[in-house]
Structure 1
Amino acid sequence: MRTRVEVVARRGPGGRTVLPVVRGSGQLAVRRTGPSAVHLVATAFGPLGGDDAEIRLVVEEGAVLAVRSVAAAVALPARDGDRPSVQRVLAEVAGELDLRMEPTVVARGAHHRAGLTAELAAGAVLTATEQVLLGRTGEEPGRWTGTTRVVADGRPLVHTTVGLGPGAPAWLPPVAPRAYASTVHVGQAAGVLTAGDAVRLPLDTGWVATAWGAELHTVVRAVEAVA
């Protein structure tokens, strides 16, 4: 299934944010849930292997946009063949974007590819989180590949790919994490900080925090402790 979402946030009268474009098709609908907030709502179970989703977010100068989702997404294997499911987030930000969606659970036999590409103007603010769990309760893990690329004021700031699960180059059972969480923030600098299984590393104009472990709730709390 092909899914397309587009949201545009613009500074309106009196400095409030208006959303002139809010639309979704395929597996995701978009609902405005606050003055400058939207939630993505799944209209079908999945994603299934072979599904392709693209989420395009534009936040113009002076605007603020918060993007959330209603529930965790469960990535399932293709009915035929070995095709991955794909979700791409493409963001153009001159204002402030807060992207914090619910976790992705990758079922046994599934391969889900997630990508965030953010183009930030000078002075833009970005906070983006990723939460992943490989396998449901009592189930063998699926595979997840996530790529994050952030360009700030024309300069590459972050470009990283993380691969987890069977078939990923760094997957080395029995010591192999089933849960992963990360947050990238641009807009306010911070230094190095570690806590448990989490680490926060500085960027020129922000920071990135990551954690791996056996349980999702544990790694989420670990990232929050250093964020």
Structure 2
Amino acid sequence: MRTLVEVVARAGPGGRTVLPVVRASGQLAVRRTGPTTVHLVATAFGPLGGDDAEIRLVVEAGARLAVRTVAAAVVLPARGESPPSEQRVRAEVAGRLDLRPEPTVVTAGAHHRALLHALLDEDAELTATEQVQLGRTGEQPGRWTGTTRVERSGVPVLHTTVGLGPGAAAWLPPVAPRAYASTVHLGAAADRATAEDAVRLPLERGWVATAWGDRLTPTLARLAPLEGGAPLEEALP
């Protein structure tokens, strides 16, 4: 199934944010749930192997946008020889974007590809998170491949690809984490910091923090102290 989501945030009168474009088709619907917040709502089960989703976000200068999902995404294989499912997020940001979806659970036999490509203007701010669990309780892990590319004023700031699960080059037991969480923030600098199975690395006017483990809940707990510089949704009036 082909899914397309488009949201445009624009500065309105009195410093408000208006959303002149809010539309979706396929497996997702989009709902405005706050002054600067939209939630993506699944309208069909999945994604399934072979499904393709594209999310286009535009945040113009002076505007703010927080993007959330209402529930975790459970990735399932298609019948027979299952091709990967794919979700691409392309963000053009001149204002402030806070992208925090609920976790992605990749079931046994499934392969999901997640891509984020963010194009930032000189004064733009971005916070984007990724949370992944390979396999449900008592189930073999699926496979997940995530690519993040962030550019500011045409200059690459971060370009990384992480592959987890059976068949991924760096996923070799006993070094085979089933849970992964990452946050990238552009807008305020932070120093390097480490915790158990977690690290925060500085970027130009920003940072990226990553944690890994066997289960997602404790992995997120280890990541949280390293995310102190990230703005919360409540900071987006």
Deviations 1:148-184 (Å, cap 9, x if unpaired)? Answer: 0000111100000000000000111233100000000
Identity over aligned pairs, percent? 75
Measured in 1, the distance between the counterparts of 2:79 and 2:70 equals 26
Q: Tell me how far 1:82 sits from its aligned partner.
A: 2.6
Question: Which residue in 2 is equivalent to 1:123?
Answer: 123
Considering only aligned residues, what root-mean-square deviation do their CA atoms show, in Å?
0.6
Deviations 1:63-105 (A, max 9, x none): 0000000000000011232300000000000000000000000
Q: Which runs of 5+ in 1 are unaligned?
A: none
1:10 paired residue number? 10
Q: Secondary structure at the match of 1:136?
A: coil
1:25-78 alpha-carbon deviations (Å, 9 max, x no partner): 100000000011000000000000000000000000000000000000000011
> What secondary structure does 1:102 align onto?
coil
Displacement of 1:212: 0.8
Query: What residue ranges of structure 2 are gaps of 5+ in the alignment?
Result: 228-237
Query: Any idea what SS the aligned residue of 1:123 has?
Result: coil
1:47-196 aligned within 5 A: 47-196=47-196
Residues of 1 paired with 2:36 and 2:16: CA distance? 8
Normalised by the length of structure 2, the TM-score is 0.95
Q: Structure 1 segments of 4 or more deviating over 4 A?
A: none
> Hey, what's the Cα distance between the residues in 2 that align with 1:208 and 1:18?
29
Q: Which amino acid aligns with 1:161?
A: T
Letter of the 1:153 counterpart: S
Q: 1:9 aligns to what SS in structure 2?
A: strand
SS across alignment from 1:220: helix
Cα distance in 2 between the residues matched to 1:16 and 1:222? 36
Q: Where do residues 37-52 of structure 1 align in structure 2 (5 Å cutoff)?
A: 37-52=37-52
Query: Which whole-Å CA distance do the structure 2 matches of 1:6 and 1:204 have between them?
Result: 29
Q: Which residue of 2 aligns with 1:20?
A: 20
Write the distance in 2 (CA, Å) between the matches of 1:4 and 1:80: 26
Aligned equivalents of 1:19 and 1:226: distance in 2?
32
